[in-house]
Amino acid sequence: MVIVSGQIDLSVGSVVGFIGALAATLMVTRGMPFIPAMLICILVGAAIGAIQGYWVAYWKVPSFIVTLAGMLVFRGLTLISLDGQSVGPFEDSFNVISSGFIHDFFGIEGLHVTSLLLGIVVSVAFFYIEFRQRRQAAQHGIDNSSMTLFIVKNLILSIVIIAFSYLLALYQGMPTVLIIMGVLVALYTFIMNRTTIGRRIYAVGGNAKAAKLSGINTERVIFFSFVNMGVLAAFAGLIFAARLNSATPSGGYGFELDVIAACFIGGASASGGVGKVFAVVIGAFIMGVMNNGMSIMGIGVDYQQVIKGLVLLGAVLIDVYTKNKG
């Protein structure tokens, strides 16, 4: 939302690390139950987003400056709260959000039926949504691709989803973090495509002055996008800490660069107003495959940074070239 609205957030990685440190302080050091501790962490993330969004939206301070300051502040607070050392482990009930698997309600040995059924439901839902959009486009006189191409495309997608679900069902089922990601992707796809606030975010990112003249409260839209970013960074911090089973001083380091790169690789525009949730997820998947692939190939961290930088530059150049050509 932040990039689509024409802004940028450089503090994401530091907020992720700080929220992980806060969770460790509350749950490990102070012994607080994980549910209230998680709620506090999410509220703190929202407050961080609200503070940064306030300066950007209402004081017109460039988001680059505000979030750069936030990156430094929250990286420092992470080091202070952890005293320069890792804090852990967390209780098992908290770690489930990152390393756990969904429960199988059927109990068949060797096959996680619930995960397989979820895959089938998701593939059917995708087909229904695509078919509904195709029908609405036809009603408004918008040209569609041929029915054969539509069926083949959705058939391939369904096969991939069901095959992936089957592979997971042969193991321990779908990971909890995959379900969380799926819910968030579906929720934000709906928000950006089907709600007023989503359309206003696109409008503000596309042309803030025109959006202002049309009656949109641009300050409120930008403020909301930063609050939302803070909440999502808090979720990411909790999941990352649960994944490591500890909070580390270097937690979240460099995440902001990977996040921004994933957005641009996924088709988001550097100037705002363009970008789809699912496409950004694909961009994040590409970044993840690149990171893991280069590590498996034994490519050094120094060369990895060079390659990722060139990929990011290439994605932005393609966006600029496409806009200029259009």
Domain boundaries, the chain: 1-100+203-252, 101-174, 254-326
Q: Is the pLDDT of residue 323 over 80?
A: no
Beta bridge partner(s), residue 87: 247
What does the alpha-carbon distance between residue 273 and residue 205 come to, in Å, rounded to a whole number? 4
Is the separation of the CB atoms in 243 and 98 below 8 Å?
yes
Main-chain dihedrals φ then ψ at residue 175, nearest 5 degrees: -65, 145
What does the alpha-carbon distance between residue 48 and residue 109 come to, in Å, rounded to a whole number? 46
Q: What is the per-residue pLDDT across 224-256, written as a single tens digit (0 to 9) for each?
A: 999 999 999 999 999 999 999 999 999 999 899
- Longest Cα–Cα distance of the chain, Å, equals 63
Is the separation of the CB atoms in 200 and 216 below 8 Å?
yes
Q: State residue 311's pLDDT score.
A: 82
Three-class secondary structure of residue 175 per DSSP:
strand
Task: Report the percent of the chain where pLDDT is more than 70.
Answer: 100
Q: Looking at 110-175, list the stretches that DSSP marks H as alpha helix, in order from N- to C-terminal side.
A: 113-139, 147-170
Two structure tokens written together for 231: 């909440």
| Residue position matching structure tokens 């060079």 | 306
Within 13 Å and on the Cβ side, how many CA atoms surround 301? 1
Reduced to 3 DSSP states, what percent helix, strand and coil does the chain have, rounded to the nearest 5? 75, 0, 25
- The distance from CA 282 to its chain's CA centroid, rounded to whole angstroms, is 11
Better-predicted residue by pLDDT, 231 or 1? 231
Closest CA to 164 of 149, 178, 150, 185: 178
Average pLDDT over the chain, rounded to an integer: 91
- The distance from CA 178 to its chain's CA centroid, rounded to whole angstroms, is 12
Task: Tell me the range of 41-50, 133-142, 144-153 where mean pLDDT is highest.
Answer: 41-50
| Residue position matching structure tokens 């960074």 | 233
Is the separation of the CB atoms in 106 and 114 below 8 Å?
yes
What does the alpha-carbon distance between residue 222 and residue 6 come to, in Å, rounded to a whole number? 9
Task: Tell me the range of 172-186, 266-280, 301-315 where mean pLDDT is highest.
Answer: 172-186
What does the alpha-carbon distance between residue 272 and residue 247 come to, in Å, rounded to a whole number? 34
Q: State residue 326's pLDDT score.
A: 60
Better-predicted residue by pLDDT, 200 or 321? 200
Q: Is the pLDDT of residue 203 over 70?
A: yes
How much is the average pLDDT of 158-172? 93
